[in-house]
Each structure stands twice: as structure tokens, then as C-alpha cells.
């Protein structure tokens, strides 16, 4: 497996193809439905976003409380399709990598290709394994959402599969 440090560079994104297995290290954001809706509404209103999405990676997951001695509880992926109505706008604002599980809409795939981005598949059922890759957790926006707030994670050894590459190659089509 190839190993990469976030944020990914354009040439790294272009080199990755559907079905590639990779390992990520570095900083990524966490946000689910409500975070995406708030960011989308801010974009529509022309407001400044709470974080710079340029080159950013976002992971669709809801963390569970951290057990003693851990920085986060189980943190597996959630279904990505729920973010589909908002994802093209975030990609246009500079988001480069999305991590979740399950297929994406045609509109999202078109936006991935147009913006030269990636969709990565995290392994469902591996929340405890992913928790071991998280080295730090920092809230960054929408604290009122509690466990669904936007947070920043520092990860080491975060294993994923390229599900949709920057040219539109996909593990979901044959």
C-alpha cells in the first residue's frame, strides 16, 4: 500500500486510480449531514467558512465518546450519499478528498472529475481500528451540534481504498 501525507498534492491525486489501497497520515476534517448543510448554506450566502477547504480532506463519521486512555471512541465511516446534495458546492470551494462508505450520485461523480478530487472508501465496521489511528482531536466549528460538530483529526496509518478517482474511475461500476 502506498502511503501519503495530507493534504494530497494534485499530482498525487492524479496518480491514484479506483481500487488503489492507500494509507493516510496528517490532518483531516470530520463532518456529517448537519455540518455539510451549514457549510452549504454559508457558501450560498457568500459567507466566509469556518475553515479553509482548499486542498482539504473530510471524513464522514460520527465519533463515539473516548474511552479512558484514548483520544476518540470508535470512528467508522457513515453513508456518504447523505452528503451528496452538498458535496459539489464544497468541491467547488476547494475540498479535494472525501472519505466515507457507499456509492455517490452522478452529480457528485461529475464534480469529482471537474474539480480533480477523490472519493475514498473507509472500511465499515472498523470504527475501533480507525480510532487507533487518531492521534489528536480538535473541535473547529459548529460546537452546538455536539458529537456531530466539525472536528479536525490528526491521523497516522489511516487505511482506505480509492473508490472514485479524479478521472471518474469507480469501484461501484463494472
Q: What are phi and psi of 94, to 5 degrees?
A: 115, -10
Work out whether strand 21-30 and strand 2-5 pair parallel, antiparallel, or are unpaired.
parallel
pTM reported for the whole predicted model:
0.96
State in words which class domain 2-164 has: alpha beta
Q: Domain limits of the chain? A: 2-164
The mean pLDDT value for 75-93 works out to: 96
pLDDT digits (tens, 9 = 90+) for 17-29: 999 999 999 999 9
36 given a catalytic annotation: yes
Active-site option among 13, 28, 35, 36:
36
User: Residue 9, Cα to own-chain centre: how many angstroms?
Assistant: 16
| All three cell numbers of 38 | 451549514
pLDDT digits (tens, 9 = 90+) for 94-120: 999 999 999 999 999 999 999 999 999
Asked if the bond preceding 7 is cis, omega within 30° of 0, the reply is yes
pLDDT digits (tens, 9 = 90+) for 119-142: 999 988 888 889 999 999 999 999
Q: What are phi and psi of 89, to 5 degrees?
A: -65, -40
- Distance, CA of 6 to CA of 127 (rounded, Å): 20
Give the burial class of 26: count Cβ atoms within 10 A of its Cβ; 0-12 exposed, 13-18 middle, 19 or more buried: middle
| All three cell numbers of 18 | 479506483
Amino acid at each position: 500500500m502506498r502511503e501519503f501525507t495530507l493534504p494530497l498534492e494534485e499530482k498525487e491525486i492524479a496518480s491514484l486510480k479506483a481500487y488503489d489501497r492507500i494509507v493516510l497520515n496528517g490532518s483531516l476534517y470530520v463532518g456529517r449531514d448537519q455540518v455539510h448543510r451549514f457549510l452549504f448554506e454559508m457558501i450560498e450566502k457568500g459567507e466566509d467558512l469556518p475553515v479553509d477547504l482548499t486542498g482539504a480532506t473530510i471524513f464522514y463519521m460520527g465519533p463515539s465518546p473516548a474511552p479512558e486512555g484514548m483520544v476518540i471512541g470508535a470512528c467508522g465511516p457513515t453513508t456518504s450519499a447523505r452528503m451528496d446534495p452538498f458535496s459539489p458546492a464544497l468541491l467547488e470551494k476547494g475540498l479535494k478528498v472525501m472519505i466515507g462508505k457507499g456509492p455517490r450520485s452522478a452529480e457528485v461523480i461529475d464534480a469529482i472529475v471537474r474539480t480533480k478530487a477523490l472519493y475514498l472508501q473507509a472500511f465499515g465496521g472498523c470504527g475501533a481500528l480507525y480510532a487507533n489511528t487518531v492521534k489528536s482531536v480538535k473541535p473547529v466549528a459548529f460546537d452546538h451540534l455536539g458529537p456531530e460538530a466539525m472536528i479536525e483529526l490528526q491521523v497516522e496509518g489511516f487505511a482506505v481504498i480509492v473508490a472514485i478517482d479524479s478521472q471518474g474511475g469507480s469501484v461501484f461500476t463494472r
